């Protein structure tokens, strides 16, 4: 492994034994271990530190977000406006549309409705879930999902 000199224009704190550094006079960012050995190089910039899945949120020159793993492999491409870390994965935002990517399961999506002052509740009907307005029972989210959660931050309900 190549070892870098300790002259960096920027560096992150070590997380899970790894840090990102950008040497003077270089356009690339390197992920190094505590011995200063290069684990991989990347054109992306880290946003935060490695999580429990040994992944880190990154952004590119256009400030679009993605995720890479501890080997520099892209897990989620840099095509999102924001990515938020969750205990079980990520919330991805693009053009005010949100979806959840869970670490070890299929992708779930979010449905966005403006319901700030409307009391709503998830409900099951004929084996499918939807969300209704209370007390009128007006359907807010149709009964076509295997699961519906409560409306959460950003006025979103997980479906």
One digit per residue, the tens of pLDDT, for the chain of length 159 reads: 566 666 788 888 888 899 999 888 888 899 999 998 999 999 998 988 888 888 999 999 899 999 999 999 999 999 998 888 877 788 888 887 777 787 654 444 444 444 444 567 778 888 888 888 776 778 888 888 887 776 655 466 666
Name the residue range of residue 19's domain: 1-80
Asked if residue 52 is part of any domain, the answer here is: yes
Q: Whole-angstrom Cα distance, residue 53 to residue 29?
A: 21
Asked if residue 57 is part of any domain, the answer here is: yes
Asked if residue 110 is part of any domain, the answer here is: no
Could you give the number of structural domains in the chain? 1
Does the pTM exceed 0.95?
A: no
3-state secondary structure 48-104: CCCCCCCEEEEECCCCCEEEEECCCCEEEEEEECEEEEECCEEEEEECCEEEEEECC
């Amino acid at each position: 492994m190549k070892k870098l000199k300790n002259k960096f224009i920027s560096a992150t704190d070590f997380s899970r034994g790894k840090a990102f550094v950008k040497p003077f006079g270089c356009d690339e960012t390197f992920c190094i271990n505590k011995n200063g050995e290069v684990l991989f190089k990347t054109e992306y910039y880290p946003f935060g530190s490695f999580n429990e899945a040994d992944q880190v949120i990154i952004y590119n020159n256009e400030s679009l977000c993605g995720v890479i793993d501890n080997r520099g492999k892209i897990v989620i491409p840099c095509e999102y406006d924001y990515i938020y870390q969750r205990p079980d994965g990520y919330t991805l935002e693009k053009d005010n549309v949100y979806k959840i990517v869970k670490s070890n399961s299929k992708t779930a999506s979010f449905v966005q409705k403006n319901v700030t002052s409307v009391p709503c509740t998830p409900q099951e009907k004929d084996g499918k879930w939807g969300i209704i307005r209370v007390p009128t029972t007006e359907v807010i989210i149709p009964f076509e999902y295997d699961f519906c959660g409560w409306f959460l931050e950003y006025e979103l309900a997980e479906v």
